[in-house]
A and B are shown apart, each in its own frame.
Chain A
Amino acid sequence: MAENSVEERMLELIEEICDDDVIREERDVDLFEEGLLDSMAAIELLVAIETEFGVTIAPTAVEREEMNTVNKIIYQVQIRYDAQ
């Protein structure tokens, strides 16, 4: 249940920031290459994650390659959320 809720809430967040529901279908595409995220929007996402989940991901903690698709972003949040 908890896992689903992180995933679902993350999908909502990413959808809101990317402003495109395509992210629910295409969960392994590179969001930066597709123009769905840029570096500034990615930071808004980190801030939103912190507000929503209390999970802090320092802006320089994760390389872009480890956080460039919907599934990878959810994974990064999930491991930190579970560690809490």
Chain B
Amino acid sequence: MNFYIDPAFYVFLAVAIVPAAVLGFSGHRIKYYGLAASLAFLLLLFGENVEGMLAFAAFLAIACAATFWELASWKSGQKALWKFRCALVAVIAPLVVYKIGAVFDHNLMGFLGISYITFKAVQVIIEIRDDLIEDMNFADYLYFLVFFTPFTSGPIDRSRRFAEDANRTYTASEYADLLARGIMLLLVGAVYQKVLGTVFHHYFTPAPLGDGPWWTELGAQVKDAYMYGFYLFFDFAGYSLMAMGASYCFGIKTPRNFRAPFLATDVRDFWDRWHMTLSTWLRDFVFMRAVKSATRRKLFKDRLHTACAGYMANFLLMGAWHGLTVDYLVYGAYYGVLMGATDVYQKKSAFHKRHKKENWYKVVQWFVTINVVMLGMAIFSGQMHTVVGGLIHG
């Protein structure tokens, strides 16, 4: 049973929310019920897929062992960096093996939701190293990893924030507010995904360039890129809103994932608005670390060069994470270059500095940005591949 896709999921969800609401309204903690409900939902998710279930159980065992082994070292004051590194490698390994296996059409260690659970496990391991997580309850950790509403595709929550929500009790009026917002988010998300997403997907009909005049051919490609972009937004933002809404019903305020991304005025702004929990995760745990270590070793001559290299590493990794295919790697490199170019332009261009506060300039920036973003969508969807392939093979 796939979450948010099979109609049965919504029936089970509605039923599962009832006890959560009873606990919430009566001022009880929802945590232990939520944990049990999550495990039940994961049983439904993996269903008869024994391979997936085993891979998931193996991941969970590795993550728990590695994390608490590292935590013990930090709590004792030993703070062995090699243990941190081993723990990090151990939780990332299944995802890397799975992604490489996928290139050869083999499913090795993969299960639905492997990426998102890996992001969460990595966050905990790094924050223990940073002395930000000084102690952690096993049930809290387990609940954080297996919480079912954002399990398959995010949003990516953070453990300290999650544990605070999981351990609190709400007053009846606070919970009523949370539940009402949760149900609202579920409904809006369903309209986004099931209605708007479906409509835009209907108009996405990619094809190689035809024999018509160039402007109609180009127009058709631009139309497809836009339709795919809107489809992806409504599909994914809709899913994210539903995951957020369902979390609210369990007393967990899962963070939002999108904030009007098509209103962005440059690509940096776009990544502050699109799949935000992934971009902030990458920012905090990849970009930041890459920039930091490069700065310390003085690998580049100044901050601008360092930032450009950091963007490239960050976005290439994001592309590779989507899948080790040409399209995704090009997509990652595309944004790596754009982020660096935007940085250089905004820091060096006198024209930009002179006009950045003027309205006409903002409109031009927005227009350029949305088209650059839609070109990115065409790379991501494989549309560009079809067109370029069509040109080469005639």
A5 at interface, CB cutoff 8 A? no
Task: For B132, list chain A residues within 8 Å (CB).
Answer: 58, 60-61
Query: Which B residue's beta carbon lies closest to that of A40?
Result: B268
Which B253-305 residues have C-beta < 8 A from chain A? 268-269, 272, 280, 283-285, 287-288, 291-292, 295-296, 303
Task: For B127, list chain A residues within 8 Å (CB).
Answer: 58, 60
CB 8 Å contact bits of A19-53 with B (1 = contact, 0 = none): 10000000000000001001110011011101100
Given contacts A43-B283, A47-B292, A60-B284, whether A38 and B130 have CB atoms under 8 Å apart is no
Task: For B202, list chain A residues within 8 Å (CB).
Answer: none
Determine the interface band of chain B, counting residues with CB < 8 A from chain A.
20 to 34
Task: For A38, list chain B residues within 8 Å (CB).
Answer: 268-269, 272
- Verify A40–B307 contact, CB threshold 8 A: yes
Task: For A47, list chain B residues within 8 Å (CB).
Answer: 288, 291-292, 295
Query: Which A residue's beta carbon lies closest to that of B356?
Result: A35
Contact among B268, B269, B303 for A44, CB-based, below 8 A: B303
Task: For A19, list chain B residues within 8 Å (CB).
Answer: 347
Contact among A39, A48, A58 for B272, CB-based, below 8 A: A39
- Verify B130–A43 contact, CB threshold 8 A: no
CB of A49, distance to nearest CB on chain B (Å): 11
CA distance A16 to B288 in the complex (A): 19
- Verify A60–B130 contact, CB threshold 8 A: yes
Task: For A51, list chain B residues within 8 Å (CB).
Answer: 295-296
- Verify A40–B356 contact, CB threshold 8 A: no
Given contacts A40-B339, A43-B288, A51-B296, whether A59 and B272 have CB atoms under 8 Å apart is no
Chain A to chain B contacts (Cβ below 8 Å), 6 pairs: A39-B268, A39-B280, A40-B311, A47-B295, A58-B127, A60-B132
Given contacts A40-B268, A44-B307, 4 further A-B pairs with CB under 8 A are: A43-B283, A50-B292, A59-B285, A60-B158
Name the 5 nearest CB pairs between A and B, nearest first. A58-B130, A59-B284, A59-B288, A43-B288, A47-B295
